[in-house]
A = this chain, B = another copy of it.
Amino acid sequence: MIGLAGAGVAGIAATGGALALTSGKNPEPKPVAGIGDAVPFYGARQAGIITPAQDRLHFVAFDVITGKKAELLAMLEAWTAAAARMTAGLDAGTIGAVGGIPEAPPDDTGEAIGLPASGLTLTIGFGPGLFRDAGGKDRFGIADRKPQALADLPHFPGDAIDPRISGGDICIQACAHDPQVAVHAVRNLARIGMGVVSVRWSQLGFGRTSSTSVSQDTPRNLFGFKDGTANLKAEETALLDDHLWVKPGDGPEWMAGGSYLVSRKIRMIVETWDRTSLVEQETIVGRTKGTGAPLTGKAEFDEPDFAAVDGEGEPVIALEAHVRLAHHSQNSGARMLRRGYNYVDGSDGLGRLDAGLFFISYQRDPHRQFVPVQTALARKDVMNEYIRHVSSGLFACPPGLVAADDHWGRALLS
C-alpha cells in the first residue's frame, strides 16, 4: 500500500494518542478522562447527544445528489468506518480502492496528524428530504419509513429563515475539544462523500452554551448570561427516557432509541443588547447576569418561583421573561436537551458583528417539545427584539451502532 502511509506518515496511527489501534472498525476506546481522549463511537446511543458537551462544534448539512440507493448505502458504510477511526484519534483511513494507488489522493487530508481524538463525536441525522425530495419524489423508496416527528416545523412569528442555510438531507454534528479535529472530521466525510452528497451549509461554533452533565459548569452565551441551567442532564436517566429518547411505539422501528435534532441559527444583535441596562437585561431573562440565579432565588440552581410577587403585587419574574416562557412548568412539562454553541461569522456589512447562538436541541418529538416552547417564545419573549432566527434544521438521529459490522445506513436504507 502506498497512499499516505507509504509516503512518510505511517506515524498517524501511532500519534492518534488515545488508542493503540492501527485499523479495524470496532475500537474499544478507553474512558473519557482528559480533553485529548476518545469518546466511544459504538454503543446503544449515538455519542454526541448526552456526551458532556465538548468545547467546539462543526455542524454540516448535506444534500444527497445521487438517486442511486446503492451509492448512498456505500457512502454511509464508508462514513461509518471513517467515523469510527477518526473518533478514535486515527486518520480517516482507506476508503474504497483509492488508497493503494500512487496517483490517488491521500486517504486523509492530514491537518489533524499528530492531534489526539480530542473527545470527537460524530452524530448523524436524516432530514425530511431523504424520504421525499423537494419535488416530492421518493428517491430511495423509504417514504413509508418517514417518522411523523420529522414533519416540517411550522413558521414561527418573526422567523427570518434563509433556506440556503437551512434543511438538508443528512446532517453531521461534529463536536470536539479541538476545532481542528472537528473541522478535519467534517471535511473528510465530505471528501469521502464526493459525488453522493454535497455540502449544503455548515456552521462553526466556538464555545459551548450548554452543559449536558452535572459534571460541567454552565457556560455563557453571547448575551453574557449563563445558558442551559435547566437543561436535561445525562445523569437524569428517567427524564431522558421521557423526553429525549424515542420509544419503540413512537414511530418507525429504525428510530427507536434515537432522538430528533432541531437546529436554529439565532443571530443576536449584540450591539443593541449591549446598550440595554443590566436591570432590563435581567428582567428580560428572568435571571441575574452574575450568578445565573432566578430573580426569585439566590443561587443558579434555585428553582424559579413563578408565583412570587413583589411589594406592589407584580410578578418578580415577569410574565414575559425568557426563563418563564421557556420553562417546562409553563409548557406542559416539555423539556429538551440543548447542546448549542456560540458563533461569530465575521461582520454583517452594517458595522456589527455577525454573532449569535447556534441552537441545537435533542428531543423525543420536536412537535411536542421544541414547537410549543418556541411558539410561546416567538409570540411573547421580549428577547425577540434582540434576536433573529435565520436558519432551521430538523433531523432524525437514529440509535447508536452496537455491532462492528453495522453501519449508519443499514437500519433505514437496506
A199 at the interface (CB under 8 A from B): yes
A319 at the interface (CB under 8 A from B): no
Q: Answer whether A347 and B3 are a contact pair too, CB < 8 Å, given A206-B183, A279-B102, A353-B187.
A: no
Taken together as a complex, chains A and B put the C-alpha atoms of A186 and B347 apart, in Å, by: 12
Stretch of A5-13, A360-368, A369-377 at the chain-chain interface = A5-13
Contact A206 B187 (CB under 8 A): no
Contact B353 A199 (CB under 8 A): yes
Contact A180 B198 (CB under 8 A): no
Which residues of B have CB within 8 Å of A279? 7, 102-103
Which residues of B have CB within 8 Å of A164? 349
Which residues of B have CB within 8 Å of A201? 346-347
Contact B109 A281 (CB under 8 A): no
Which residues of B have CB within 8 Å of A183? 206-207, 222, 342, 344, 355
Contact A220 B270 (CB under 8 A): no
CB distance from A228 to the nearest CB of B (A): 14
Taken together as a complex, chains A and B put the C-alpha atoms of A290 and B11 apart, in Å, by: 8
A110 at the interface (CB under 8 A from B): yes
Contact A221 B346 (CB under 8 A): no
Task: Give the bracket for the number of chain A residues in contact with chain B.
Answer: 35 or more
Which residues of B have CB within 8 Å of A207? 178-180, 183
Give A220-232 as 1s and 0s: 1 = Cβ < 8 Å from B's Cβ atoms. 1111110000000
A241 at the interface (CB under 8 A from B): no
A28 at the interface (CB under 8 A from B): no
CB distance from A260 to the nearest CB of B (A): 23
- CB closest chain-B residue, reference A103: B277
Contact A105 B276 (CB under 8 A): yes
Q: Answer whether A277 and B220 are a contact pair too, CB < 8 Å, given A113-B290, A289-B9, A353-B199.
A: no
CB distance from A186 to the nearest CB of B (A): 8
Contact B4 A289 (CB under 8 A): yes
A407 at the interface (CB under 8 A from B): no
Please indicate which of the listed interface residues A164, A217, A275 has the most CB atoms of chain B within 10 Å of its own CB. Answer: A275
